[in-house]
Structure 1
Amino acid sequence: HQPFTKMAYKAHRHLLNYCGHDTDQDDIDRAIGHTTAYNRVIGNSYTASVYLGLAALLDRSEDLTGRPLAFLSYGSGSVAEFFAGTVVAGYRERLRTDANRRAIERRTEVDHARYRDLHEWRFPADGGEHATPEQTTGPFRLAGISGHQRIYQAR
């Protein structure tokens, strides 16, 4: 979980110290550096940071076929998830490395005032139909709400 990447480095260093291992920065960078590549650019993405870390690892690493991976995600309120997986043969043919990079490159910077407006905006709760403006560039968008149900559109 990397809501901010410095936390991942601190956690890894703490784990190494706890287990009696050396905490050389170059070793830490080699161990987790690939997983932080997308999160370093995007910033705090909350739950998505686990999967951005996975995408970055798969996109940037040599062949990981058969290698075990562990995932840890936590939330406020003493809630956490830990799960594991194994990288399957043929995964490299399914990577979306170029699409991932293009998605990162087409992001639009927003200033603090715009961020606050987006963060504080809420749909009316009257059950009516309310459209949202087209303001994102992804393949899907939240087009509005109708009868308390979200309406999504493919682009």
Structure 2
Amino acid sequence: MKLHELKPNKGATHRKKRVGRGIGSGHGKTATRGYKGQTSRSGDSKMPARFEGGQTPFLMRIPKRGFKNPNKKEYEIVNLKVLEEKFSANDEVNPEILVQKGIIKSGECVKILGDGELTKPLNVKAHAFSKSAEEKIKAAGGSAEKLS
């Protein structure tokens, strides 16, 4: 076999479809585009990949500046140094008392953080504690109870 004898297999090649060359060609009049509509017009059939058929595009539906999770739990924080100042030894500390003393605004969710030192034993009830806060409360002889 020589290089000039090579040719494609039978049926592997097709004649180019010549459209818009008269009714007798079989591809005349509408030139295989069908009647009316977006794809029948010249220049209109190429839509961007993000096009959603006239529906408000996804990028316009999402929020512009970040996202706020409606299920996120917002904690009001109280540091141990505040408890040291405002309470005396063996006092009960809970969200209602913290609201009464004006330390927090609402007692929905309270978290105790371990900033500062605690020298008095306190009975602290809150929704969450940092590890260091819990350790410091117990080391001072108090108790840390988690509320649901």
TM-score, reference length from structure 1: 0.20
Structure number with the higher strand fraction is: 1
Which one has the largest radius of gyration? 2
Structure number with the higher helix fraction is: 1
